[in-house]
């Protein structure tokens, strides 16, 4: 499965050379996932999932475009070699750095709130825009990542589309596309519902629409027994929707997909060293040197990440809890929704063993923090037989570098 194509010997060597915790990415998996999505005209990588520059350069070389959500992400896209017309900027508000960026760069914007219309028209009169529509429903692997419905701050409410089209027209902007992203790690059933909602919106904006964007949210099988998402079925369904719409609108439409997780999650693992084991009451703990500063998904969403111990695949297992070094009770990698600690069947671990936390290519390093004043971990990219450091570990000096010392 997935990032396990990285063999134990290499993982031992990498841990020895670069230390732990360490993110390790494997390009083969990304290439494979991109190939699965070639049925879409544009694959637009949601770069919030992982913004490592070498990884981005590599993704760029596959002909993939990007969706950025902040001025910082656009900056990184430029650094990785993407040019203006390969970048879309999706946001629900323009902060000052965002607007300033758009003054200097002609980047396509995907508007998620009404007030952005006049703000954008003031700096780019007459430009094309797409609208991110909230279709009135959403779905994701957790309610914190559901981006549709009235409880979501994202997008322009679907019922307001006619008045918003008038408003964009009055501001002199042209609406060339409709975009919907209902949530992250959704499922086939909900992602399919988007087709009807997007078609309805595109019909309302029929005069000028030339692009439809299906958003991202494609799930990946985090658990070993989960069935992978049927991308072929998904693509065929969307092609059907596009064909129908083209017939209605009387023009050809560009069809985009905007995944983050689907492209990169399975390409990454987090290597961490066992630094202790202990028993409290009847619970056995494996204490590792990675924490939720390196991977916050279990603590934030109760997300499941598969865990293995390097070189111990064939050994008998028993229930154990894997926890990190942070001074915070939520620093547990084996927990369910609501923070309930869930022991996991794992081989008996010893101090010095290496653990792999799988499927961390998306939303791990990009959500890393310096909590407990811990440096952000290093990242390694494996391409064929070559494993190269693509981000050095932060140093204690890095941690203090931006501060202004008032004390003599």
Q: Which residues participate in catalysis according to the annotation?
A: 327
| Residue 293 within binding range of ligand LLP, rule CB under 6 A | no
204, 165 contact by CB (below 8 A): yes
CB atoms within 10 A of CB 99: 16
Residue 2 binding ligand LLP, by CB under 6 A: no
Taking a C-beta distance cutoff of 8 angstroms, is the pair 196, 27 a contact? Answer: no
Provide the mask over 15-44, with x wherever binding to ligand LLP is found by CB under 6 A and - wherever it is not: ------------------------------
Query: Pick from 132, 247, 250: which is nearest to 197 by CA?
Result: 132
Subset of residues 74 to 93 that bind ligand LLP, contact rule: CB under 6 A: 90
Of 199-207, 210-218, 228-236, 370-378, the segment contacting ligand LLP by CB under 6 A is 210-218
Choose the stretch contacting ligand LLP; rule: CB under 6 A; options: 188-196, 214-222, 282-290, 321-329.
214-222
Q: Give me the DSSP letters along 381-392.
A: EEETTEEEEEEP
Q: How far is the CB of 114 from ligand LLP (least distance, A)?
A: 17
Residues 298-337 that bind ligand LLP (CB under 6 A): none
For residue 371, the 8-state DSSP code is G
| Tokens found for residue 76 | 């990184």
Q: How far from chain centre, in Å, is Cα 53?
A: 15
Query: Considering the rule CB under 6 A, would residue 292 count as an interface residue with ligand LLP?
Result: no
Among 22, 194, 363, 378, contact with ligand LLP (rule: CB under 6 A): 363
Contacts to ligand LLP from residues 146-205, by CB under 6 A: 147, 181, 184-185
> What beta strand segments (E) does 41-137 contain?
42-46, 65-68, 87-91, 108-111, 128-134
Question: Which residue lies nearer to ligand LLP by CB, 260 or 325?
Answer: 260
Own/partner contacts of 198-204, CB < 8 Å, gap of 24 or more, are 198/133, 198/135, 198/241, 199/241, 199/244, 199/245, 200/158, 201/131, 201/133, 201/135, 201/158, 201/161, 202/178, 202/245, 202/249, 202/253, 203/245, 203/248, 203/249, 204/161, 204/162, 204/165
Q: Which is nearer to ligand LLP, 258 or 289 (CB)?
A: 258
- 278 strand-pairing partners: 285
Q: Which of 98, 149, 177, 216 binds ligand LLP (CB under 6 A)?
A: 216
The sign of the dihedral angle between the CA atoms of 151, 146, 297, 336 is positive
Min CB(266)–ligand LLP separation in Å: 12
Subset of residues 257 to 276 that bind ligand LLP, contact rule: CB under 6 A: 258-262
Least distance in Å: CB of 267 to ligand LLP? Answer: 13
* Minimum CB distance to ligand LLP, residue 83 (Å): 20
Residue 130 region by backbone torsions, left for phi larger than 0, else alpha for psi between -120 and 50, else beta: beta
Smallest distance, Å, CB 253 to ligand LLP? 19
Among 218, 231, 357, 380, binds ligand LLP (CB under 6 A): 218
The residue ranges that bind ligand LLP (CB under 6 A) are: 46, 49, 67, 90, 145, 147, 181, 184-185, 215-218, 258-262, 297, 362-363
């Amino acid at each position: 499965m997935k990032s396990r194509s990285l063999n134990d010997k290499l993982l031992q060597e990498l841990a020895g050379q670069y230390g732990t915790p360490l993110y390790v990415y494997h390009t083969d998996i990304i290439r494979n996932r991109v190939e699965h999505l070639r049925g879409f005209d544009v694959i637009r990588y949601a770069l919030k999932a992982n913004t490592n520059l070498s990884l981005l350069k590599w993704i760029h070389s596959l002909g993939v475009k990007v969706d950025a959500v902040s001025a910082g992400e656009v900056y990184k896209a430029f650094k990785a070699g993407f040019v203006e017309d390969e970048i879309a900027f999706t946001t629900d508000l323009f902060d000052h750095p965002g607007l300033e960026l758009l003054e200097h760069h002609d980047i396509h914007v995907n508007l998620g709130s009404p007030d952005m219309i006049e703000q954008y028209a003031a700096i780019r009169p007459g430009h094309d825009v797409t609208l991110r529509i909230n279709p009135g429903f959403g779905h994701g692997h957790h309610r914190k990542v559901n981006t549709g419905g009235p409880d979501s701050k994202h997008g322009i409410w679907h019922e307001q589309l006619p008045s918003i089209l008038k408003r964009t027209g009055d501001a002199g902007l042209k609406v060339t596309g409709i975009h919907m992203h209902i949530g992250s790690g959704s499922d086939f059933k909900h992602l399919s519902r988007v087709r009807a909602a997007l078609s309805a919106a595109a019909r309302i904006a029929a005069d000028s629409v030339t692009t439809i964007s299906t958003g991202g949210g494609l799930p990946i099988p985090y658990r070993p027994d989960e069935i992978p998402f049927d991308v072929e079925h998904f693509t065929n369904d969307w092609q059907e929707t596009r064909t129908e719409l083209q017939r209605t609108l009387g023009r050809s439409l560009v069809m985009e997909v905007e995944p983050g997780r689907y492209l990169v999650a399975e390409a990454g693992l987090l290597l961490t060293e066992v630094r202790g084991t202990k028993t409290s009451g009847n619970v056995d703990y494996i204490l590792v040197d990675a924490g939720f500063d390196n991977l916050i998904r279990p603590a934030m969403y109760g997300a499941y990440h598969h865990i293995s111990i390097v070189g111990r695949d064939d050994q008998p297992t028993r229930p154990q809890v894997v926890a990190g070094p942070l001074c915070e009770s939520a620093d547990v990698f084996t927990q369910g929704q609501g923070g309930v600690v869930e022991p996991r069947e794992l081989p008996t671990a010893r101090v010095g063993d290496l653990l792999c936390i799988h499927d961390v290519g998306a939303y791990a390093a990009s959500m890393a923090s310096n909590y407990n004043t811990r440096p952000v971990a290093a990242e390694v990219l494996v391409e064929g037989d070559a494993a190269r450091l693509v981000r050095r570990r932060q140093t204690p000096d890095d941690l203090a570098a931006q501060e202004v010392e008032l004390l003599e």
